[in-house]
Amino acid sequence: MYQHKISALLLSFFLLSLALSACSDSNSTTATVAPVTATSVPNQTVAVAATTNSNKPTTTAVAAVPTTQALSADQIESNSVVSVVKRANPAVVTVYTKATRTTTGSQFTVGTGSGAIISENGYILTNAHVVSGAQGISVAFNNGQKVAAAQLVGIDEDGDIAVLKVDVKTPAVLKFGDSSKVEIGETVIAIGAALGDFRNSVTKGVVSGLNRTIPGDTSPNVYIQTDASINHGNSGGPLLNLKGEIIGINTAVVRSVNSGGSSTSANDVAEGLGFSIPGNVAAMISEQLITKGTASKPYFGIRYQMITPAIAGTTLSGISIPEIEGAWVSPSGRQPGIVAGGPADKAGLKDNDIITAINGEPLNDLNPLVTAILKYKPNDTINLTVQRGKDSLTLQLTLGERPKPLN
**Annotated active-site positions, please?**
129, 160, 235
279's CB contacts (< 8 A; 6+ apart) are 176, 177, 178, 179, 239, 245, 246, 247, 248, 249
Taking the CB of residue 77, how many other CB atoms lie within 10 A of it? Answer: 14
**What is the amino acid identity at position 353?**
D
Mention every residue, 6+ apart, whose C-beta is less than 8 A from residue 391: none
Nearest to 221 by CA among 377, 374, 375, 382: 374
CA dihedral 124, 127, 132, 135 (to 10 degrees): -30
- Asked if 93 and 148 touch (Cβ cutoff 8 Å), the reply is no
Please name every residue paired with 198 in a beta bridge, in sequence order, or none if there are none.
Answer: 194
How far is Cα 114 from Cα 143, in angstroms, rounded to an integer? 14
Which segments within 298-364 are labelled E, that is strand? 298-299, 304-307, 315-316, 319-320, 326-329, 354-358, 361-362
Query: Would the CA dihedral through 9, 11, 15, 18 be positive or negative?
Result: positive
Strand locations in 314-390 (E)? 315-316, 319-320, 326-329, 354-358, 361-362, 381-388
Region label for 352, one of left (φ > 0), alpha (ψ between -120 and 50) or beta (otherwise): left
The distance of Cα 363 from the centroid of its chain, to the nearest Å, equals 24
Which residues lie closer than 8 Å to 92 by C-beta, 6 or more apart? 114, 115, 116, 117, 142, 174, 191, 192, 200, 237, 238
Tell which residue, 386, 366, 367, has the closest CA to residue 375.
367
Q: CA dist 35 to 64, 70, 244, Å?
A: 14, 20, 42
> How many Cβ atoms sit within 10 Å of the Cβ of residue 58?
13
Measure the CA–CA gap between 344 and 327, rounded to whole angstroms. 13
Report the distance separating Cα 176 and Cα 178, nearest Å. 7
